[in-house]
Each structure stands twice: as structure tokens, then as C-alpha cells.
Amino acid sequence: MQILKSFVMAVCALATLAVLATATPAHAQEPHYLQALSELRTARDYINFDHRPGIGPQKKLALDEINKAIEEIKHAAWDDGKQTRFTPPSSGVTDPWEPLHQAVKWVDAAKGHILQGVDQPENQGLRDRAVGHVAAAHQILVDTLQGQ
């Protein structure tokens, strides 16, 4: 019985060693992409906060582009689940366009972080696609603000 017990322990130890030896190391998460995810979520929240009539189509287009950029980035970075740091404008703010101004600020910050990120070959150009979506969202927001 003692020999069988020792044999089973040795087999378990070898199996554990084999599993650990064949495991591939985890890739470090790209911090620039994680920061960009947080900033894009914040921009999306600011755009969603704006409920004025008349900007619905532009708002939807900007949100679609931001969501596409988020999806592209998620392929390279895990969803970190952090708060988006969204704070609605205080009641003293009288500029109804402030949420869109804030969204432009966050979209621009996200673009900067995406551009700093490394576009790994296995990501197949996701950084460039994400930058394209963010640039499109930026242009939509700026055009909307200029039409005010």
C-alpha cells in the first residue's frame, strides 16, 4: 500500500511539472490600450448624457464609431472593469454643449494612448482600425459642435 501511495504521488508530481512546463507565459497587458478603453468609455458616457433634440443622428454615428474602437481594442487588452471616471456636469453649468466638449477631450486623449500602444502582428492592424474609428468619432463631434 505504501508503494502504491508513493507511486501515485510521484505520478501527480510529474503531471503537475509537465503542465507547468508546457504553459505559455501570459502576455503583459498593453497599458496604453487599457487607458484608451477607459477614456473611450468616458467619452461614450458624456455623449449619452447629452439629451438635446436635433443631434440624434450625429450622436448615434459618434457612439457607433466609439463602440467600434472599443471592440477593436478589446481584442488586444482585457476588459479591466475600472470606473470610467464620468462625472456629469454640475448644475451650475449653463453650456448645453459641455458634454460634447468633454467627449472630444476624452476621445482625443484615447487616440493619443492608442497611438502609443504597440500593434502586435497577431492583432492584425487593430491599432490602425481603432485610430480610424476614434478619428471618425472626433470629426463627427467637432462637426456637431461647429454646427451649434
Q: For residue range 68-97, what is the model confidence (pLDDT) as tens digits?
A: 998 888 766 554 444 444 455 544 555 777
Do 133 and 63 contact (CB within 8 A), yes or no? no
Note the pLDDT tens digit of each residue in 118-132. 777 777 778 888 899
Any domain includes 84? yes
Q: Is residue 23, in this structure, part of any structural domain at all? A: no
pLDDT tens for residues 93-106?
A: 557 778 888 889 99
Nearest-angstrom CA–CA distance, 105 and 108: 5
Using left for φ > 0, alpha for ψ between -120 and 50, and beta otherwise, residue 26 falls in beta
Q: Return the CATH number at 86.
A: 1.20.1260
62, 141 in Cβ contact below 8 A?
Answer: yes
Q: Is 36 among the domain residues?
A: yes
**Residue 138 within any structural domain of the chain:** yes
In this structure, the number of other CB atoms found within 10 A of the CB of residue 83 comes to 8
pTM of the model: 0.64
